[in-house]
């Protein structure tokens, strides 16, 4: 009899302990729990994931230790190992390097970060991408999106129930077909974006490839702001139950985000308008390493906003002005 059939005998909620069930079925515990991690999660795990996702959206610098404390304050006891497992499953990591959607493949090339100190002064100069976790009533999906830095316009998006490469490649293919190509494409160092298929598509189109430094939230801050806006303005409010509902809701939200929602950083214009006429946008990431030694680096600048003093590079999207999204 196959191991899959024997795994099917094991029930998490049965009176007999899972350890004993595994012994009787001749199944290694690691095999059973590994299968469970990639399939349906328990109700409690889904609840903890929802709470951590909401807190991470507010405070993306939180790693597993702070999440343990956060959950404890809400009355949920979860050790660090469990929190780390759930954060890996969700694709979350604090600003310090750690397990996340950004874990690269050891045999895949990683490219340098090209955008520090670069001023995005026109549409299609810089595109950027990232992946986020979205919880449904039962289960979850991953969302990838591509945005134009200058205008903040969402150029493409796809959802998937796994962190494979194909949905990211499909999203890129759609964006290139609909909007032409950028001069520079920025991503994190996740295996989806370092894969030969993904980078090959970029190189084949003559696009320069840029990748974030590990643990540097500011390197891709404009997508982080998009996730914050999306979740607080739509996902958390509506609580989607199914993939079909989410797909319909995301289509409506991104149409609103691009075409109707006024953006403070764009002088209260919309991304569609700024992308179309090339006026009123712009963005830059300060060069924290290129100035005189001891000199305070300039803060992140967005069009239409006065510069602010920041506390240094280890700050989050939450402290960099959420209305700029």
82: domain range?
43-90
Q: For position 253, what pLDDT does the model report? A: 97
HSE value, Cβ hemisphere, 13 Å, CA-based, for 203: 10
Q: Classify residue 239 by burial, with Cβ atoms within 10 Å: 0-12, 13-18, 19+.
A: exposed
Query: Taking the model in full, what pTM does it have?
Result: 0.68
DSSP one-letter string for 59-81: -TT--HHHHHHHHHHTT----HH
Say how far apart CA 260 and CA 324 lie, in whole Å: 15
Residue 58 domain flag: yes
Residue 151 domain flag: yes
Residue 162 domain flag: yes
- Residues with Cβ within 8 Å of 167's Cβ and at least 6 positions away in sequence, in order, are 142, 144, 158, 159, 160
DSSP one-letter string for 5-26: HHHTT--TTSSS-HHHHHHHHT
Do residues 309 and 278 share a domain? yes
The residue from 53, 71, 90 where one domain ends is 90
Q: Where are the beta strands (DSSP E) in the chain?
A: 119-120, 126-135, 140-148, 154-160, 184-187, 208-211, 283-284, 301-302
CATH of the domain at 208: 3.30.420.10
Say how far apart CA 241 and CA 136 lie, in whole Å: 5
Tens digit of pLDDT at every position of the chain (325 positions)? 566 566 666 665 556 776 777 777 777 766 655 554 444 567 888 889 889 888 888 877 788 888 999 999 999 989 999 898 888 878 776 544 433 444 444 456 789 989 888 899 999 999 999 999 998 988 889 999 999 999 999 999 999 988 889 999 999 999 999 999 999 999 998 889 999 999 999 999 999 999 986 545 556 788 889 999 999 999 999 999 999 999 999 999 999 999 999 999 999 999 999 999 999 998 877 665 554 333 333 333 444 443 333 323 223 333 333 344 5
Q: Are 163 and 195 in contact (CB under 8 A)?
A: no
Do residues 203 and 158 share a domain? yes
For tokens 């002088």, the residue is: 267
Q: Are 280 and 181 in contact (CB under 8 A)?
A: no
Q: Are 300 and 322 in contact (CB under 8 A)?
A: no
Do residues 220 and 193 share a domain? yes
Nearest CA among 247, 298, 279, 319 for reference residue 122: 279
Quote the number of domains for the chain: 3
Do residues 11 and 73 share a domain? no
* Residues facing 30 on adjacent strands: none
Residue 155 domain flag: yes
Q: For position 226, what pLDDT does the model report? A: 94
Q: For position 311, what pLDDT does the model report? A: 29
Residue 234 domain flag: yes
């Amino acid at each position: 009899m196959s191991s899959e059939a024997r795994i099917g005998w094991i029930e998490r909620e049965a009176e007999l302990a899972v350890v004993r069930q595994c012994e009787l079925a001749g199944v290694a515990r690691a095999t059973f729990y590994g299968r469970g991690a990639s399939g349906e999660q328990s109700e409690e795990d889904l609840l903890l994931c929802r709470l951590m996702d909401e807190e991470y959206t507010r405070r993306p610098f939180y790693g597993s230790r702070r999440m343990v404390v956060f959950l404890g304050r809400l009355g949920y006891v979860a050790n660090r190992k469990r929190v780390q497992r759930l954060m890996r499953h969700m694709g979350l990591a604090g600003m310090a390097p750690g397990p996340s959607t950004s874990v690269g493949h050891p045999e895949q090339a990683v490219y340098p970060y090209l955008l520090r100190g670069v001023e995005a002064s026109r549409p299609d100069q810089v595109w950027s991408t990232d992946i986020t976790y979205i919880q449904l009533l039962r289960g979850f999906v991953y969302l990838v999106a591509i945005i134009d830095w200058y205008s903040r316009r969402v150029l493409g998006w796809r959802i998937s129930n796994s962190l494979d490469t194909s949905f990211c490649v499909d999203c890129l293919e759609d964006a290139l077909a609909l909007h032409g190509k950028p001069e520079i494409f920025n991503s994190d160092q996740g295996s989806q974006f370092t894969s030969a298929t993904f980078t090959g598509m970029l190189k084949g189109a003559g696009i320069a490839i840029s990748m974030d430094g590990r643990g540097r939230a500011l390197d891709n801050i404009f997508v982080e702001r998009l996730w914050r806006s999306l979740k607080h303005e739509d996902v958390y409010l509506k609580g989607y139950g199914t993939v079909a509902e989410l797909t319909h809701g995301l289509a409506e939200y991104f149409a609103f985000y691009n075409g109707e929602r006024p953006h403070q950083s764009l002088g209260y214009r919309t991304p569609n308008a700024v992308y179309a006429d090339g006026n009123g946008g712009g963005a830059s990431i300060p060069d924290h390493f290129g100035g005189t030694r001891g000199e305070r680096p300039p803060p992140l600048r967005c069009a239409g906003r006065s510069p602010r003093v920041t506390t240094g590079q280890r700050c989050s999207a939450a402290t960099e002005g959420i209305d700029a999204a």
